Structure 1
Amino acid sequence: MKKISTTKLLLVAIGCMMLHWPPANATIRTAYQGIDSIMRSRRAVLVYPNPVIGSLTVQSRQPIQQLVLYTMDGKAVKRVMTNGKNNQLSVQDIQRGAYMLNTIFEDGTKTSKLIIKQ
């Protein structure tokens, strides 16, 4: 069986994700300003730097209760209880690759971002 390098596998995974998802910090504008658009703006999350090496900064407009980092196959690799709108997540102890960061707010709503660990 032929081995595939981690870099090639990562590039394929990122390519597939980009076909289906908007850019990590994209703003999606709707034609109307209903309750859905208001809730979406309250749940907006700024995550940087991305790609990340050591520590990830996660900021939002409403308090974050928990940050959960998942591998692309759905395994939780890091779960951190937080409080507040500005948080740091250390990723020095995880391997290079693509991950999903789920942000869970105090009201129970969630958002997801694609994170690349260098």
Structure 2
Amino acid sequence: MKKYTTILFVILASLIFASNAAPTSELVSYEYGINPTIDTEKVIITPNPAKENTMVKIIDDEAQIAQISIYSLLGNQIFARNYTGNENSIMLNVQAFKKGKYLIKVIFKDGSSEVKALIKQ
């Protein structure tokens, strides 16, 4: 086996040097992520951090809120409410929440959704 490996190496080396081509390299870069250059933000949470109340504001004129859910970082649903009107801002009372970080999920009437972090002080 060693004899065949050595012969194969010698043949490959001979082919590379016989071509008189200089070794080259090419740098290729790829961008990974989910639409890394497209800004699709539709929601602002303010104030954030919040003590008593926080407002969910829609900054996309065409978006309409269908549902807002709030989750702990462990995945437990703390709050959920459906909306049928054309609200573009919703005031949420978070006074009873424990201090920490939460995730607010806003589902829009077109079926899309956005998740934002909320810090409760």
Global fold match (TM > 0.5): yes
1:47 to 45, 58, 69: 45
- Match of 2:98, SS state, is coil
Q: Deviations over 1:25-75 (max 9, x none)?
A: xxx972xxxxxx48x25xx10110000011111111211111100000100
- Match of 1:92, SS state, is coil
- TM-score where L is the length of structure 1: 0.63
Match of 1:59 in 2: 57
Match of 1:106 in 2: 109
- Counterpart amino acid of 2:53? S
Measured in 1, the distance between the counterparts of 2:91 and 2:115 equals: 16
Runs of 4+ residues deviating >6 angstroms: none
Instruction: Identify the structure with the greater helix proportion.
Output: 1
Bigger radius of gyration among the two: 2
In angstroms, what is the RMSD of aligned CA positions?
Answer: 1.9
- Counterpart amino acid of 1:51? P
Equivalenced residues, count: 82
Gaps of 5+ in 1: 1-27, 31-36
Q: Deviations over 1:78-114 (max 9, x none)?
A: 1122331111111112111110000110111110011
Structure 1 vs Structure 2: percent identity of aligned residues? 28
- TM-score where L is the length of structure 2: 0.61
